[in-house]
Structure 1
């Protein structure tokens, strides 16, 4: 059993985000028509996938490597009646095999860090139609001077974290026109991610009391939560909206 996935089981989201932020990012993208295609990369349990379906007319392919996340999303799809518009796929972002210019919009919330911000933008660009749009949220430094604790933590867990200005430069150098960017509100970290995660950790701590491996993993998760409590002004998730240069 993978301890990480067991800790994150049944969470509403697998990272910071909320419907309001998803829709704000979507507002910078031209209307997706009925014949439009959207790819949601690393969709997790798919809260944003359903939001996209409710607010566009196109079809969506939701992709993730963790089958249990897709099963949660598939239940949401059935409940919402979107079976004809959303298809799930158990597949890796590292090995996308779609035809070139397949999608009008590529979306990825809180997940492009897995492949790397620059690498993802460059690797996925060919799957966008000319003039197509890419929307991603990425962990970013919000200040020039960063305290030692977040530097040490993210230096270990995500050494690729960068500033907004550097990410904007990467966007331009990767063949996109940047259209908008904005910082996710702090509550977007808490409502659907950290608060449910804390409750999950409390439950698992009782179930696995005395198991050193479990206790260390749970402590590491809480370390991230405590870090955000103390340093949320120095880093956060940023939505980046861009258009592929034709």
Structure 2
């Protein structure tokens, strides 16, 4: 990655939290896509336990609660995001079934076989796709499901500019076939995978950012780190528009097929 491009992790956490808490979703996605992924999951009941790992402010968590039975715990590292989820759950009358908690995805607060479903949209990259699949499996019952979105290549070859950008930002990015093979090796039977449409990136992620960026910059006038954060996000959006035929997010849904 050249000097003008940075990983989101290189910025001040408080600025990241403030920036992304002002938009409904902290990554590409949509309510329609969440519902579509949920349609591949069978057997949920009012007694089911669901974890939304890396829930952010809970855009998809609320959609899950509106379309699936059971109780949901949203886990996120940022307290401000968790406060937003809990406020949204109260406002929607879902707080008896939805709870946000501050936590780290590499040490989830669940027991072995406790969960029926682990959900993670736009977040598993923080721990790594393969590591997350392997480490989180023990929290799921046999027959339980995992559903995650992951940055993936759509082609075996791509232009150097976007190839280098993603290898620097997330070296684990890979083709869909290789991601499915990783899921199988981790002890899951792949149930479904599908590519998120462009609208998940543009209308639901980049357009809301563009709308709030001027106010964010006004609040942090003269703050070089804040200016760099906005420049970084604008650069990422430009690259997506330029190279969207080569990569995107893919929803991977798997079912636990053995104890491990």
Per mean C-alpha deviation after superposition, the further-off stretch among 164-173 and 90-99 is 90-99
Aligned match for 2:178, one of 159, 166, 177: 166
The answer for the alignment partner of 1:240 in structure 2 is 252
The answer for the alignment partner of 1:19 in structure 2 is 31
Q: Can you list the C-alpha shifts for 1:98-154, whole angstroms capped at 9, x where unaligned?
A: 110001111000100000000000000000001100000001011111111211211
Q: Can you list the C-alpha shifts for 1:146-204, whole angstroms capped at 9, x where unaligned?
A: 11121121122111111101001001111010010000000011222111111222223
The answer for the alignment partner of 2:136 in structure 1 is 124
The answer to whether the 8 A contact 1:64-1:91 is kept is: yes
The answer for the alignment partner of 1:94 in structure 2 is 106
The answer for the alignment partner of 1:41 in structure 2 is 53
Q: What is the CA-CA distance between 1:80 and the residue it aligns to?
A: 1.3
In 2, Cα distance between equivalents of 1:235 and 1:204:
29
Gaps of 5+ in 2: 1-11
Q: Is 1:214 aligned to 2:259, yes or no?
A: no
In 2, Cα distance between equivalents of 1:138 and 1:56:
22
Question: Does the residue aligned with 1:8 lie in a helix, a strand or coil?
Answer: helix
Root-mean-square deviation (Å) = 1.3
In 2, Cα distance between equivalents of 1:200 and 1:28:
35
The answer to whether the 8 A contact 2:17-2:81 is kept is: no
TM-score by length of 1: 0.96
The answer for the alignment partner of 1:177 in structure 2 is 189
In 1, Cα distance between equivalents of 2:231 and 2:88:
31
In 1, Cα distance between equivalents of 2:82 and 2:219:
26
Question: Does the residue aligned with 1:106 lie in a helix, a strand or coil?
Answer: strand
In 2, Cα distance between equivalents of 1:85 and 1:6:
27
In 1, Cα distance between equivalents of 2:188 and 2:121:
18
The answer for the alignment partner of 2:93 in structure 1 is 81
The answer for the alignment partner of 1:60 in structure 2 is 72
Aligned match for 2:40, one of 18, 22, 28: 28
In 2, Cα distance between equivalents of 1:72 and 1:212:
27
The answer for the alignment partner of 1:50 in structure 2 is 62
Residues 203 and 40 (structure 1), Cα distance of their counterparts in 2 relative to 1, 3 Å cut: same
Aligned positions, number: 246
The answer for the alignment partner of 1:155 in structure 2 is 167
In 2, Cα distance between equivalents of 1:131 and 1:236:
28
In 1, Cα distance between equivalents of 2:68 and 2:23:
25
Per mean C-alpha deviation after superposition, the further-off stretch among 207-216 and 37-46 is 207-216
Q: What is the CA-CA distance between 1:209 and the residue it aligns to?
A: 4.1
Per mean C-alpha deviation after superposition, the further-off stretch among 104-113 and 71-80 is 71-80
The answer to whether the 8 A contact 1:31-1:56 is kept is: no
Gaps of 5+ in 1: none
Aligned match for 2:115, one of 103, 118, 123: 103
